[in-house]
């Protein structure tokens, strides 16, 4: 690509980060995310948490958006009470990333949600989540692997047509699909592993962590969509935001 598309990746705030003698709050992002965007042919920029009303202005300057993985989405966002194994909420991060998703959908900007990012995409479109399941993570701090089977005829299957083994670390998953989304991959136990908008602007979520793998096909597809002329007018995806 002559002009590498500008891909924004959401970040999060973490207290107690240390540099030399300094211990300060920091906007952080595991390096695997920008490296994956770079390997796939894009220019990566970090999107530190901001006021939700600034999301539209940020997205307007981008060619594509990635919502990164992280902690559990607050259950009240999808009308549920917290389960006993659901983690504490990060309300500021939920609000910022939901605003980024809404802005990307409204403007037709290509969008990829990774793990939590896929779950948040589903919630943004009115879907719900399973608050706990077993068997989709390795030991604490380590990624497990399991096979993922694409659904024939989907956008994801056009990018990755065969069953693949993917790195995963999560205990929540999509339950009821959000408006306009279809499942495009599953784990052997039936867990939804990818969701997408089947037509209109390029929108995909994956439950695993491609930034921890050598396979760049999913993110390359995002970058290619971001490099293409914007074919959809704002709001043309026909999606209803929750």
Please list the active-site residues.
115, 209, 211
CA dihedral 127, 198, 226, 108 (to 10 degrees): -60
User: CB neighbours (10 Å) of residue 203?
Assistant: 29
């Amino acid at each position: 690509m002559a002009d590498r598309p500008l891909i924004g990746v959401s970040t999060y705030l973490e207290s107690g980060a240390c540099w030399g003698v300094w211990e300060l709050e920091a906007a952080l992002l595991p390096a695997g995310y920008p490296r994956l965007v770079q390997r796939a042919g894009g220019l990566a920029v970090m999107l530190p948490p901001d006021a939700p009303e600034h999301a539209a202005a940020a997205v307007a300057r981008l060619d594509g958006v990635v919502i990164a993985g992280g902690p559990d989405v607050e259950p009240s966002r999808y009308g549920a009470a917290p389960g006993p194994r659901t983690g504490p909420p990060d309300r500021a991060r939920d609000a910022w990333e939901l605003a980024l998703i809404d802005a990307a959908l409204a403007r037709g900007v290509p969008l990829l949600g990774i793990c939590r990012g896929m779950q948040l995409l589903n919630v943004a479109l009115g879907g719900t989540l399973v608050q706990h399941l077993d068997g989709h993570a390795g030991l604490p701090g380590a990624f497990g692997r399991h096979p993922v089977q694409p659904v024939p005829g989907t956008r994801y299957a056009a990018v990755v047509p065969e069953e693949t083994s993917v790195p995963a670390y999560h205990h929540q998953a999509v339950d009821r699909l959000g408006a306009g989304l279809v499942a495009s991959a599953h784990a052997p136990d039936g867990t939804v592993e990818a969701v997408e908008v089947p037509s209109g602007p390029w929108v995909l979520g994956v439950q695993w962590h491609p930034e921890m793998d050598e396979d760049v096909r999913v993110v390359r597809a995002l970058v290619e969509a971001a490099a293409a002329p914007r074919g959809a007018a704002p709001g043309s995806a026909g999606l209803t935001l929750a």
